[in-house]
Amino acid sequence: MPSFHTIHEVAHSARNMFALVADVEKYPQFVPLCRSLVIRGRKPFDDGREVLVADMTVAYKMFRETFTSRVQLDPEKGEILVEYLDGPFTHLENRWTFVPAGPESCQVGFFISYDFRSRTLAALMGAMFDLAFRKFVSAFEARADEVYGCKDARAAR
């Protein structure tokens, strides 16, 4: 089963990076392959956690697939968990972690594992998914620079 994991230090606070990744409605503006994202439902909890169900449509050339996920946002833990519910996969698990590394920097952890339901789709989209996942953290860091202002990464270390 394909998977990808990275930890990357960025010059933005863990709180800001968590908020940026949690703002899933904005993904079509900057996330590789994401063409649309629709929130089906949202359930906030008293302890600050929130769970939402979302449909994400990914596309590349003539291929377009939509899948549904449950997204668990836990700002206290600095963690976002994505669980697959329905679509073209047999399995999809995604986890983001945000660990403070200084007053205005953090380590962003990104993990994803997935398996396509169809071998044909896996052959056609697998390499593109792998390339896109390798660009995810950079896309979010560039978005953070745009939203929160560009900071010198060396000053944060």
- For the chain, domains (ranges, CATH) are 3-156 (3.30.530.20)
Tell me the β-bridge partners of 51: 43, 72
**Which amino acid belongs to residue 76?**
E
**3-class DSSP assignment, residue 14:** helix
Q: Reply yes or no on whether the pLDDT at 152 is more than 60.
A: no
Alpha-carbon span 134 to 142, nearest angstrom: 14
Element (H, E) at 88: none
With residues binned 3-state (H G I as helix, E B as strand, rest as coil), the percentages for the chain, rounded to 5, are 30, 50, 20
Q: What is the largest CA-CA distance in the chain?
A: 47
Tell me the β-bridge partners of 5: 111
Q: Reply yes or no on whether the pLDDT at 15 is more than 60.
A: yes
The total of other beta-carbon atoms located within 10 Å of residue 47's CB is: 9
Q: Reply yes or no on whether the pLDDT at 129 is more than 80.
A: no
Q: Are 153 and 8 in contact (CB under 8 A)?
A: no
Alpha-carbon span 50 to 143, nearest angstrom: 23
Whole-number pLDDT of residue 143: 94
- Give the burial class of 70: count Cβ atoms within 10 A of its Cβ; 0-12 exposed, 13-18 middle, 19 or more buried: middle
Q: Reply yes or no on whether the pLDDT at 153 is more than 70.
A: no
> What b/e sequence results for 137-151 when a residue is b if at least 16 CB atoms lie within 10 Å of its CB, and e otherwise?
beebbebbeeebeee
**Which amino acid belongs to residue 109?**
G
**Mean pLDDT, the chain, whole residue set:** 88
**Which amino acid belongs to residue 4?**
F
Whole-number pLDDT of residue 78: 97
